[in-house]
């Protein structure tokens, strides 16, 4: 490298911050790894409750139902086994359910079976395949009204 080029190359990193340009770091939430230590929709590994046992209650309350707060899911982070059903209970008209992470319905494992649900008060999903399936309230995800079903 010629001395002039080396000088140019060495000065480039110094110039990145010399204007008004401010790099914005956007955290990227990726799915499929919540069980490996990552945080997805506010679910860390220690927050998951295992409801995969036969006879366990696989119900997620929201909007004040089943021990949830007004803007939360209970339990927020649930583990089930492949083939099991999970039922959401609450008013979907005020808390519309959508798969994915805030701003991205495709966040999480591919093939998330959670359907967009905007009416009614109960909805049951059969989780056939192992994966990490996040979901959000379309109205209150920004308040942390989000959750994850991990299927083993």
Please, are residues 27 and 102 in contact by the beta-carbon 8 Å criterion? Answer: no
Provide, rounded to whole angstroms, the least separation between the CB of residue 134 and Cu ion.
15
User: How far apart, in Å, do the first and last CA atoms of the chain sit?
Assistant: 54
Residue 123's DSSP bridge partners are: 88
Interacting residue ranges for Cu ion, rule: CB under 5 A: 95, 137, 139-140, 145
Would you say 51 or 140 has its CB closer to Cu ion? Answer: 140
Provide, rounded to whole angstroms, the least separation between the CB of residue 45 and Cu ion.
25
Provide, rounded to whole angstroms, the least separation between the CB of residue 143 and Cu ion.
7
Provide, rounded to whole angstroms, the least separation between the CB of residue 91 and Cu ion.
9
Would you say 94 or 106 has its CB closer to Cu ion? Answer: 94
Would you say 45 or 104 has its CB closer to Cu ion? Answer: 104
Would you say 84 or 146 has its CB closer to Cu ion? Answer: 146
What are the φ and ψ backbone dihedral angles of 46, each rounded to 5 degrees? Answer: -75, -10
The H or E element spanning position 15 is helix 3-15
Burial class (CB in 10 A: 0-12, 13-18, 19+), 62: buried
């Amino acid at each position: 490298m010629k001395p002039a080029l080396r000088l140019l190359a060495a000065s480039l990193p110094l110039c990145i911050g010399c204007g008004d340009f401010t790099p914005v770091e956007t955290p990227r939430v990726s799915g499929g790894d919540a069980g490996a230590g990552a945080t997805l929709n506010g679910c860390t590994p220690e927050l998951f409750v295992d409801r995969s046992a036969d006879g366990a209650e696989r119900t997620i309350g929201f909007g004040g139902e089943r021990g949830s707060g007004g803007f939360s899911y209970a339990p927020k982070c649930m583990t089930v086994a492949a083939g099991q059903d999970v039922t959401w209970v609450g008013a979907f008209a005020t808390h519309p359910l959508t798969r994915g992470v805030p701003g991205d319905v495709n966040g999480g494992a591919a093939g998330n079976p959670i359907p967009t649900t905007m009416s009614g008060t109960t909805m049951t999903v059969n989780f056939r395949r192992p994966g990490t399936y996040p979901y959000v309230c379309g109205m209150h995800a920004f308040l942390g009204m989000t959750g994850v079903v991990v299927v083993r």
